[in-house]
Amino acid sequence: GIEFIDSYVFNKAEYVRFNSTVGRYVGYTEYGVKNAEAWNSDAGILGQEQAELERFCKHNADLHYSAILDKT
């Protein structure tokens, strides 16, 4: 399967991340946890991340997979 991770970084430290495997945001700092709670309760924001998974990851994975098959 494909795992899509969208990290948010401030001052070189990751504070919150969207992980498609768990389907929600996870916070790593106090500020990140507050953001994660707010964003996880917003279906629109979660939907945007899921759309990125579909639009970017799965599309590119299909391209790479077909390129590999063409070479074998």
Q: Look at 56 and 13; give whichever has higher pLDDT.
A: 13
pLDDT (tens digit, 9 = 90+) per residue, 56-69? 766 666 766 666 77
Strands 24-27 and 5-10: unpaired
Q: Look at 48 and 71; give whichever has higher pLDDT.
A: 48
Residue whose C-alpha is closest to residue 40's, from 57, 9, 16, 12:
16
**CA pair distance 46, 53, nearest whole angstrom:** 11
Domain segments of the chain: what residues?
5-70
Write the CATH number of the domain with boundaries 5-70.
3.10.320.10
Do 35 and 16 contact (CB within 8 A), yes or no?
yes
pLDDT (tens digit, 9 = 90+) per residue, 18-27? 998 889 999 9
**CA pair distance 4, 10, nearest whole angstrom:** 20
Do 24 and 4 contact (CB within 8 A), yes or no?
no
pLDDT surpasses 80 at 8: yes
Give the pLDDT band (50/70/90) at residue 55. Answer: confident
pLDDT for 41: 96
